[in-house]
Amino acid sequence: MMVQQLAGKVAVVTGAGRMRSIGRHIARALAQAGAAVVVTGTGRHPDAYPSDEKAAGWRDIESVVDEIRALGGRCLPLVSDIRNEGAVENLVTRTREEFGRIDIVVNNASAARGDDRLPVTETSLDAWRRVFATNVEGPFLLSRMAAREMVLQKQGGSIVNISSVVSKLPTANSAAYAASKAAINAMSRCMALELGPAGIRVNAVCPGLIDTSRLDDVERGENWDRYVQATIPLGCSGDGSEIAEMVLFLVSDRGKWITGQAINVDGGAVWGN
């Protein structure tokens, strides 16, 4: 029987409602390791679900919670807007009321691909602000309030921000996204320096190409396969489970001497950053 290395811990994972997603893998991994998990999502309308979710009868965060409970885990689903300070305060309060504490935060929610994926000269200020509101302001709000709770608890804690290798190796037509993820890396480092004396570790994980529903606007097939083979030394994209394993390592005692880092998990695509 696998040792439950997170037994007694309470984790919050944002953006965990999609069937093909990093967040779902993270929430399940932390729950299987023994943590009580608060799973958040935006409350998507079913009409917005991709075809595979509709065919599977997927129910966003409720389906993730069903999976965790079927494994014997404790879980709380909460629809929350991390861009809203009041909603974040409610999220942390509900977590404390339900489970008594907060030990782990995984800021996984990220702005959907859209009208920000244009040259800078064609990117609107509204699109830029939309990306930064979700990718930077949201993690700032949740990390700030959760860290306050962890400091008061005096038992340390761990915050992991899901960044991207694009933060280190930006590509054309991704300025808003790349800049927002670079900001997350910097914020993670600053918080690690500030919170280290309280035993709170803060790291960023930088995924490479992960085959999730976020990339459904990119056609799969020969072009996809050629790109993967040309850019990823291991010859395959990730599915999200690889990111979950790194997060689990960082938030457990196995990662107890790691903080302030931005760690690539990308099949070898980025080197030297």
CA distance 57 to 74: 22
CA distance 23 to 15: 6
5: left (phi over 0), alpha (psi -120 to 50) or beta: alpha
- Token readout for 176 is 């808003």
Alpha helices in 106-240 (DSSP H): 125-132, 138-153, 175-195, 222-231
Beta-carbon contacts of 202 under 8 Å, excluding residues fewer than 6 positions away, are 143, 158, 159, 160, 161, 188, 189, 191, 192, 195, 259, 260
Q: DSSP for 221-262? A: SHHHHHHHHHH-TTSS-B-SHHHHHHHHHHHSGGGTT--S-E
- Are 131 and 147 a contacting pair, CB within 8 Å? no
Eight-state DSSP code of residue 134? I
Active site residue 227: no
Catalytic residue among 141, 147, 177, 207: 177
Residues in the chain: 273
| C-alpha of 58 from chain center | 20
Active site residues: 177
